[in-house]
Amino acid sequence: NEQLAIPQLRQSSYRHETPPTNPSRRCLHLGYFGGKRLHKISWSAPKPSPLTRSAPMAKLAIFFTLTLSLLPFLSHSFSPDTPTDRRILVLLDDFSLKSSHSIFFTSLKSRGFDLDFKLADDPKLSLQRYGQYLYDGLILFAPSVERFGGALDVAAVLDFVDSGHDLIVAADTTASDLIKSVATECGVDFDEDPSAMVIDHQGYAVSDVDGDHTLIAADELIRSDVILGKTKIEAPVLFKGIAHSLNAANTLALKVLSGSPSAYSANPSAKLSSPPSLTGSAISLVSVVQARNNARIMISGSLDLFSNRYMKSSVQKAGSPSKYEKSGNEQFVTEVSKWLFHERGHLKAGNLRHLKVGETGEPAMYRIKDDLEFYVDIFEWSGNSWEPYVADDVQVQFYMMSPYVLKTLSTDKKGLYHTSFKVPDVYGVFQFKVEYQKLGYTSLSLSKQIPVRPFRHNEYERFIPTAFPYYGASFTTIFFFYLFVFFLVIKTRFAGALQMAGFFIFSVVYLYNNRMVGRPPFSIL
């Protein structure tokens, strides 16, 4: 585990205000991003900067500095500056899909992706070479493949995801165990019955032939601008395929397109003998999963959803008067793929800073009741550049086993979030925690440890007004004690009395100056 440095997101003025503090005090937890990704980034060395032309040692130093400063951005394994997948491997059952689904592929290409089409049972199939991944994304349009060719298997696909890459899986009625097990590993359970399809006798798409209502005009879309874009998808999405369900406890998976209340999953050609296992809105037609390392996965129960035929066809939902010239498929698929390949909803946060009010530089420790200011930078990837992320619901916790302070951060709309608060009257090892989990966005989990100490011995109030009677009592006692001794002594020896008087004055001054420091034990004297 390397020491994670604090990221420097932009050339902000904070950098030179913040002298390097003790690294042991600074800590940045990045949630659950696996260790493997750290290696990856150190391989993909940053672009040479002008500085790298200096001496080799300096180069090395700069390399490490840059690498370290980039580490926190490992929420995506590719270059943190451009978190978009560039090379995508598309695995097909046969090459005819290449033309039958060309609209989807063309839209990807036009957004700058390199697509590499291969047959799913290609014996030379491999995702990585020499420990490095050759692709940034994987599209599995091969529902019926029983076994991948080459070095690829379920484990390799999941490793690919777990190292931060994105995945699209499309199944249909012919879905093999292989595809289903990939989906299961990602938290999506396809219907067990291999012959079952989604049937909806009310939400089917009106077509010329009155079929078995397996072609569905689905319009139960997730309400999220991040995933589906700002433009509302008006037309229903045509779907023909198999149903899957999500475990309710699975917080990572989302139903993007779910079945209508009247949908159910059964074999259309057989008679329904028992109640179907999957019914109504429990059925998910298309789901997305955002793994804890922010790799994104899309699982669709229908391969045809992506096809040119469905995209172009007109659609009318049964029982609905409105007929659309064009189905919502193209818009739906395009928008979801934009989200999937991190063109939307990808946040990065960093540069957690805090300082005591009125001071520059980050302290290594706070005292109870200190006033502090807290800053964090949050940016969103827009597809080609980092834009400030603007939201009013980002919160920071001042946390020790439970949040002692919970404050909503205000933003300057330039990516900088800020708040200030008073350290609670509790000492201990606290953390600044930013836990931001918003539907569709990458989850942010940053924390920074900071100890809070109690007052020092000389930081207490010097005199407490309510205690003046006690001070008075102490001094009176002292005074009369010396008076007593004075008279006791003067009876015998005058010089001694003088000494006593001098000692008395000295003692009072001394006590007054040194002993009445606020700490209770000292006020005794």
Partner 1 sequence: MASPESAVNGPTMTAGAASKSLRNAFGGVIAFIILVLIGVLAFSIRLFSVIKYESVIHEFDPYFNYRVTQFLSKNGIYDFWNWFDDRTWYPLGRVIGGTVYPGLTLTAGTIWKVVNSLNIPLSVETVCVFTAPIFSAFASWAAYLLTKEVKGPGAGLTAAALLAMVPSYISRSVAGSYDNEAVAIFALVFTFYLYIKTLNTGSLFYATLNALAYFYMVCSWGGYTFIINLIPMHVLLCIVTGRYSSRLYIAYAPLVVLGTLLASLVPVVGFNAVLTSEHFASFLVFIIIHVVALAYYIKGILSPKMFKVAVTLVVSAGLAVCCAVIAILIAVVASSPTKGWSGRSLTLLDPTYASKYIPIIASVSEHQPPTWPSYFMDINVLAFLVPAGIIACFMPLTDSSSFVILYIVTSVYFSGVMVRLMLVLAPAACILSGIALSEAFNVLTRSIKFQLPGIAGNPSIASEENGSSTVVAPNDIPKTEEAAKEKPAKKNRKKEKENVEKKPTPSKTEKRLLVLPLEASVIAVLLLVLLGAFYVVHCVWAAAEAYSAPSIVLTSHSNDGGLHVFDDFREAYSWLSHNTDVDDKVASWWDYGYQTTAMANRTVLVDNNTWNNTHIATVGTAMSSPEKQAWEIFHSLDVKYVLVVFGGVVGYPSDDINKFLWMVRIGGGVFPHIKEPDYLRDGQYRIDAQATPTMLNCLMYKLSYFRFVETDGKGFDRVRRTEIGKKHFKLTHFEEVFTTHHWMVRIYKLKPQRNRIRGKTKKSKSSRSVSSKRDVRGKRNPWH
Smaller CB separation from partner 1, 1 or 231: 1
Name the minimum Å distance from CB 483 to partner 1.
19
Q: Which stretch binds partner 1 (CB under 8 A): 58-66, 135-143, 291-299, 301-309?
A: 291-299
Residue 503 tokens read as 């000692």
Establish if 391 lies at the interface with partner 1 (CB under 8 A).
no
C-beta separation of 318 from 236 below 8 A: no
In three-state form (DSSP H/G/I as H, E/B as E, the rest C), the secondary structure along 51-99 is HHHCCHHHHHHHHHHHHHHHHHHCCCCCCCCCCCCCEEEEEECCCHHHH
Q: Give the relative orientation of helices 36-43 and 56-70 as an angle to the nearest 10 degrees.
A: 140
Establish if 253 lies at the interface with partner 1 (CB under 8 A).
yes
Establish if 147 lies at the interface with partner 1 (CB under 8 A).
no
Please report, as residue ranges, which positions from 468 to 487 form the binding site for partner 1 (by CB under 8 A): none
Establish if 507 lies at the interface with partner 1 (CB under 8 A).
no
d(CA 498, CA 504): 10
Q: Which stretch binds partner 1 (CB under 8 A): 11-19, 61-69, 247-255, 414-422?
A: 247-255
Give the count of beta carbons closer than 10 Å to the beta carbon of residue 351. 22
Smaller CB separation from partner 1, 23 or 211: 23
Q: Which stretch binds partner 1 (CB under 8 A): 180-188, 264-272, 336-344, 503-511?
A: 180-188
Q: Which stretch binds partner 1 (CB under 8 A): 61-69, 120-128, 183-191, 202-210?
A: 183-191
In three-state form (DSSP H/G/I as H, E/B as E, the rest C), the secondary structure along 472-505 is HHHHHHHHHHHHHHHHHHHCCCHHHHHHHHHHHH
Binding-site size for partner 1 (CB under 8 A) equals 56
**Most distant pair of Cα atoms in the chain: their distance:** 131
d(CA 417, CA 431): 17
Give the 3-state secondary structure of residue 166: strand
Residue 251 backbone class (left: φ over 0; alpha: ψ -120 to 50; beta: rest): alpha
Name the minimum Å distance from CB 409 to partner 1.
23
d(CA 53, CA 329): 51
One of 53, 249, 462, 465 touching partner 1 (CB under 8 A) = 249
Name the minimum Å distance from CB 279 to partner 1.
17
Residue with tokens 């009876």: 491
d(CA 42, CA 20): 23
Establish if 36 lies at the interface with partner 1 (CB under 8 A).
yes
One of 3, 102, 322, 507 touching partner 1 (CB under 8 A) = 3
Name the minimum Å distance from CB 104 to partner 1.
25
Q: Which stretch binds partner 1 (CB under 8 A): 71-79, 178-186, 266-274, 463-471?
A: 178-186
C-beta separation of 120 from 149 below 8 A: yes
Smaller CB separation from partner 1, 70 or 289: 289
One of 69, 84, 284, 293 touching partner 1 (CB under 8 A) = 293
Smaller CB separation from partner 1, 24 or 96: 24
d(CA 367, CA 458): 13
C-beta separation of 67 from 5 below 8 A: no
3-state helix, strand, coil in the chain (%, to 5): 30, 25, 45
Smaller CB separation from partner 1, 324 or 482: 482
Q: What's the burial of 274, exposed, middle or buried (CB within 10 Å: 0-12/13-18/19+)?
A: exposed
Establish if 265 lies at the interface with partner 1 (CB under 8 A).
no
One of 72, 137, 187, 350 touching partner 1 (CB under 8 A) = 187
C-beta separation of 407 from 419 below 8 A: yes
One of 50, 56, 358, 520 touching partner 1 (CB under 8 A) = 520
Smaller CB separation from partner 1, 337 or 445: 445
Name the minimum Å distance from CB 376 to partner 1.
19
C-beta separation of 152 from 126 below 8 A: yes
Q: What's the burial of 396, exposed, middle or buried (CB within 10 Å: 0-12/13-18/19+)?
A: buried
Report the C-alpha dihedral over residues 55, 58, 64, 69, rounded to 10 degrees. Answer: -120
Establish if 292 lies at the interface with partner 1 (CB under 8 A).
yes
Establish if 370 lies at the interface with partner 1 (CB under 8 A).
no
Name the minimum Å distance from CB 157 to partner 1.
11
Question: HSE-up of 407 (CA within 13 Å, CB side)?
Answer: 19
Report the C-alpha dihedral over residues 65, 68, 70, 76, rounded to 10 degrees. Answer: 150
Establish if 183 lies at the interface with partner 1 (CB under 8 A).
yes
How many residues make up the chain in this entry?
Answer: 525
Please report, as residue ranges, which positions from 429 to 448 form the binding site for partner 1 (by CB under 8 A): 429-431
Q: Which stretch binds partner 1 (CB under 8 A): 185-193, 213-221, 475-483, 505-513?
A: 185-193
One of 159, 219, 370, 435 touching partner 1 (CB under 8 A) = 159
Establish if 427 lies at the interface with partner 1 (CB under 8 A).
yes
Q: Which residues on neighbouring strands pair with residue 372, listed in sequence order?
A: 356, 421
d(CA 113, CA 106): 9
Establish if 92 lies at the interface with partner 1 (CB under 8 A).
no
Establish if 522 lies at the interface with partner 1 (CB under 8 A).
yes
Establish if 1 lies at the interface with partner 1 (CB under 8 A).
yes
Please report, as residue ranges, which positions from 9 to 28 form the binding site for partner 1 (by CB under 8 A): 23-25, 27
Task: Name the site residues for partner 1 (rule: CB under 8 A).
Answer: 1, 3, 23-25, 27, 32, 34, 36, 153-155, 158-159, 161-162, 177, 181, 183-189, 192, 247, 249-253, 289, 291-293, 295, 365, 400-401, 427-431, 449, 451, 453-454, 456-457, 520-522, 524-525
